[in-house]
Each structure stands twice: as structure tokens, then as C-alpha cells.
């Protein structure tokens, strides 16, 4: 499987996991890919934290999406 395919698959799984953890966390396919992988990758890279393999990538994507959903909820409530 190519790198882009893994990226999309991990992002979708992370979006699904966040949807289970945080009610109303689903932002659609494109939203979940963007929120999970991009935000998670940016946050972990900025903090100097690196992960390896599928479990690490899934963890990064899930944490990134969770943080972004909480931030969006705070912004919407203001």
C-alpha cells in the first residue's frame, strides 16, 4: 500500500475513534483527514515528538483530531 493510502486510512480510523470518544466529532471524510493527520502531525512535530509505525501514527492522528475538535467547540461557544 502506498504512503498516501496509509495516510488516508489512518486518518479515517482516527476520525472514527474520535467520533466515539467525543460526541459529535465527525466532520466528514475530508474534515477527519485534515483534522486528524495534519493537525496531529503539526502538533507533534512542533513539540519535537516523533512516533514510529502504524500505532504511533494512529495515536498522533487521534490526539490531533481530539484537540482540534475541542478547540472548535470552544470557538463556536464564544
pLDDT digits (tens, 9 = 90+) for 62-71: 888 788 778 8
pLDDT at 27: 65
Number of domains in the chain: 1
Range of the domain at 21: 3-77
| Residue-level pLDDT at 60 | 83
As given in the structure block, the three cell numbers for residue 72 are: 472548535
Query: Residue 64 in 3-state DSSP?
Result: helix
- pLDDT computed for residue 70 by the predictor: 81
Stated pTM of the model: 0.71
pLDDT in tens, 9-58: 887 788 778 777 777 655 666 776 676 667 777 788 888 887 778 888 88
Amino acid at each position: 500500500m502506498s504512503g498516501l493510502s496509509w495516510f488516508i486510512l489512518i486518518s479515517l480510523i482516527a476520525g472514527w475513534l474520535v467520533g466515539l470518544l467525543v460526541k459529535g466529532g465527525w466532520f466528514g471524510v475530508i474534515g477527519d483527514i485534515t483534522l486528524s493527520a495534519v493537525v496531529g502531525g503539526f502538533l507533534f512535530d512542533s513539540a519535537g515528538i516523533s512516533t514510529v509505525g502504524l500505532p504511533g501514527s494512529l495515536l498522533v492522528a487521534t490526539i490531533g483530531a481530539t484537540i482540534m475538535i475541542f478547540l472548535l467547540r470552544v470557538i463556536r461557544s464564544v
